[in-house]
Structure 1
Amino acid sequence: MKVQVAIIGAGPSGLILGQLLAKAGIDAIILEAHTGEYVLGRIRAGVLEQVCVDLLDEAGVGARMHAQGLPHHGIELLVEGKRHRIDLHGLTGGKQVMVYGQTELTRDLMDARKAAGLTTVYEAKEVAISGFDGDHPTVSYVKDGIRHDIHCDFIAGCDGFHGVCRASVPKDSIRLFERIYPFGWLGLLSDTPPVCDELIYAKHPRGFALCSMRSRTRSRYYLQVPLSDKVDDWSDQRFWDELRLRLDAEARQSLVTGPALEKSIAPLRSFVAEPMRFGRLFLAGDAAHIVPPTGAKGLNLAASDVRFLGHALIEYYGGSSHGIDRYSERALRRVWKAERFSWWMTNLLHVFPDTLPFEQRALEAELDYVLHSHAGRTTLAENYVGLPFEE
């Protein structure tokens, strides 16, 4: 089989890239190791930057997002029992974020791909890539016991942190940067109305908490917990009781509890692989970088990668290699700014077990500056809504 682009991974980054290429008339196939139901069942982020919203519109899949998504003009920071509203809209010249669950976004992309008759191979096993350091890359996989080979011009590695694409790069050709945090986020999803119209980020001596949402009737809550904790340690009742302790009186009164639809613990890490291009192989999304979820950057950063990559490949088939030659450099500039912001937010709002007294006072002073300085609030706001692209 011969195609122009082989995309490995049918998460949001792979699916968005597939849509962008299809609209430009570029032939691409997507391979996914799991079933479509498994991909849809993954509970992930739900806060979209304006640039991500614009990209989904460009890909032609934004209609349901605009109809059902929740535009947010601000966020709340709860510190020492007092709320401080960060006016995202006012501080950034009218920008905002959109709350729309990654599950729904993925469903929209899958439906659009199916309606257009584009090829996605689910349950593609034993995926292997080769030849990307030359002019003729090959992707092989096993489906229903039969091995298939795909000959392509380029491979897009959108297959996540544990995928085959980054693992196939020679170790002496790649540099890895990593920061492991000494805690995780225990998340609970419930069919209950949100505790607030906007997200609440709570800094508390017992640990960080986040009150988020997926819709007006579905909420997502998080608690900072030790890495040694297990999901089975946390009954629904224990979760709700602990969340109440970390909230203010107004939020406790507004909180509606219910049975968990899903409950999981996610460890936090910062991770970057450099570069993001290896000959005719490109890495995008979690295959190249991971951010702690504090800054709501994971999905948005994946979208910005495929915006750069999609436009670069379209330019290539239009006769210019300038975009693909600069892909890694341009993507990494944005990646590191998002990594910095997510690392900064995580340090400001979480309780670290080994923080020295001087560092603790310095962090408290920095948070005080952010909350009470126009410049500080503006810095937070412009990073949260998404920095503009550097063309």
Structure 2
Amino acid sequence: MKTQVCIIGGGPSGLMLSQLLHLKGIDTVVLEKRSREYVLSRIRAGVLEHGFAELMREAQCGERMDREGEIHEGFYIAHDGVLDRVDLHKYSGGSSVVVYGQTELTRDLYEARDKMNGVVIHNAEDVTPHDLTSDKPYVTYRKGDEVIRIDCDFVIGADGFHGVSRKSIPRDAITEYEKVYPFGWLGVLSRTKPVSPELIYAKHPRGFALCSLRSQVLSRYYIQVPLTDTVEDWSDDAFWAELKRRLPEEVSARLETGPSIEKSIAPLRSFVAEPMRYGNLFLAGDAAHIVPPTGARGLNSAASDIYYLYHAMVDHYINGSDEGLENYSAKALARVWKAQRFSWWMTTLLHTFPDRIPYDQKLQQTDLEYLFSSEKALGSLAENYVGLPF
């Protein structure tokens, strides 16, 4: 088999790049080790920054997002029993975010690939990149007893933190930076009316909480829990009771509860691998960087990688320039580290750390007080939340 760009990973990043390149006449093959049903069963974040929404429209996949997605021009931070609103529209100069579930977004991308007869191969086992520093790289994968080879010009590693792509780079050719936080998020999806039309981030001595939504009839809630906790430790009743404790009384009084559709615990981690290129292998999304979900930057950071790669590939194949490819890693990492800083700041501002000392508590409180006393501070938060320019 032969293609121009072989993309490892059939999540939203890989599918979006494949779709964008196809629209420009550039041939791709996507390899995904899981089934489509498995990929679509993953419950992930759904806050899309302005640039991501524009990229979906450019990929001709934004129709349902524009029809069903929730436009949010602000969000709330609950602290000390009160609700303070961050006016994104006002403080970012007129921008907003779109709340649209990653599962639905991925479904839209799959359907677009199907309509264009895009090649997306599922249940591809033992995917292995080869000869990445040569001008003729290739990728092999196994289907049953058969090993299949794909010759290509470039390999894109969009296969997540645990994928094969980053692990294919020699250890002495890559530097990894990591911070593991001493807690996780217990998340519950429920078929209930959201408690608020906009997201509520809650800072509380018992731990952080987040009230989010997927639609007007589907809610997503989170609470901070120790890393030692398991899903089995938390019944639905225990979850709802703890969530209510961490919210202001006016919010908890109107919280609608119900059976959980999905329940999981996600540990919080910050991670960056540098560089994001090795020969003709280019890393994108979680394969190269992870952020805590506090600042809603994970999927959005992956989208900026895809934006840079897409334009670099178009310049290579259509305009005959390799400048975008040569500068990809540096350009992507510059934006990645800004997302890392913002996610770290949001996490530090709103969570209760188990080893905190009174000094830390005072600084955290002062940071919150300063935020809501300064329009410039609110402007910085809003600018980062709606998304920095690509």
Q: Tell me which interval the TM-score lies in, with the shorter structure as reference length.
A: over 0.9
User: Cα offset for 1:46?
Assistant: 0.4
Instruction: For residue 215 of structure 2, give the secondary structure of its aligned residue in structure 1.
Output: coil
Structure 2 partner of 1:306: 306
Q: Deviations over 1:284-334 (max 9, x none)?
A: 000000000000000101111000001101110020000000000000000
| Aligned ranges 1:239-318 → 2 under 5 Å | 239-318=239-318
Structure 1 partner of 2:389: 388
Structure 2 partner of 1:350: 351
User: Cα offset for 1:86?
Assistant: 0.2
User: Which range moved further: 245-254 or 201-210?
Assistant: 245-254
User: Cα offset for 1:346?
Assistant: 0.1
Structure 2 partner of 1:232: 232
Structure 2 partner of 1:66: 66
Counterpart AA for 2:161:
F
User: Cα offset for 1:379?
Assistant: 1.0
**1:374 aligned to 2:388?**
no
CA distance in 2, matches of 1:126, 1:387: 37
CA distance in 2, matches of 1:314, 1:238: 52
CA distance in 1, matches of 2:327, 2:85: 39
CA distance in 2, matches of 1:371, 1:191: 33
CA distance in 2, matches of 1:346, 1:193: 27
Counterpart AA for 1:178:
E
| Aligned ranges 1:139-150 → 2 under 5 Å | 139-150=139-150
Counterpart AA for 1:175:
T
Unaligned runs of 5+ in 2: none
Structure 1 partner of 2:4: 4
CA distance in 1, matches of 2:332, 2:387: 14
CA distance in 1, matches of 2:213, 2:278: 38
User: Cα offset for 1:71?
Assistant: 0.2
Q: Deviations over 1:213-237 (max 9, x none)?
A: 0001000000000000000000000
Instruction: For residue 89 of structure 2, give the secondary structure of its aligned residue in structure 1.
Output: helix
Identity of aligned residues (%): 58
User: Cα offset for 1:160?
Assistant: 0.2
Structure 2 partner of 1:328: 329
User: Cα offset for 1:357?
Assistant: 2.0
Instruction: For residue 309 of structure 1, give the secondary structure of its aligned residue in structure 2.
Output: helix
Structure 1 partner of 2:218: 218
CA distance in 1, matches of 2:191, 2:115: 30
User: Cα offset for 1:144?
Assistant: 2.7
The TM-score, its normalising length taken from structure 1, stands at 0.99
User: Which range moved further: 369-378 or 207-216?
Assistant: 369-378
User: Cα offset for 1:358?
Assistant: 1.7
Instruction: For residue 267 of structure 1, give the secondary structure of its aligned residue in structure 2.
Output: strand
Unaligned runs of 5+ in 1: none
CA distance in 2, matches of 1:235, 1:58: 43
CA distance in 1, matches of 2:254, 2:388: 33
Structure 2 partner of 1:114: 114
CA distance in 2, matches of 1:81, 1:384: 24
Q: CA RMSD in A?
A: 0.6
CA distance in 2, matches of 1:35, 1:383: 35
Aligned pairs, how many?
389
Q: Deviations over 1:62-108 (max 9, x none)?
A: 00000000000000000101000000001111100000000000000
CA distance in 2, matches of 1:311, 1:217: 38
**1:203 aligned to 2:203?**
yes
Counterpart AA for 2:199:
L
CA distance in 2, matches of 1:325, 1:290: 23
User: Cα offset for 1:366?
Assistant: 1.2
Structure 1 partner of 2:20: 20
Instruction: For residue 222 of structure 2, give the secondary structure of its aligned residue in structure 1.
Output: strand
Counterpart AA for 1:363:
Q
CA distance in 2, matches of 1:171, 1:223: 36
| Aligned ranges 1:150-229 → 2 under 5 Å | 150-229=150-229
Counterpart AA for 2:351:
H
**1:103 aligned to 2:103?**
yes
Q: Deviations over 1:338-375 (max 9, x none)?
A: 00000000000000011222222112111110122111
Q: Deviations over 1:103-141 (max 9, x none)?
A: 000000000001111110000001101111111101000
Instruction: For residue 253 of structure 2, give the secondary structure of its aligned residue in structure 1.
Output: helix
The TM-score, its normalising length taken from structure 2, stands at 0.99
CA distance in 2, matches of 1:281, 1:339: 23
User: Which range moved further: 351-360 or 28-37?
Assistant: 351-360
Q: Deviations over 1:257-280 (max 9, x none)?
A: 010000000000000000001110
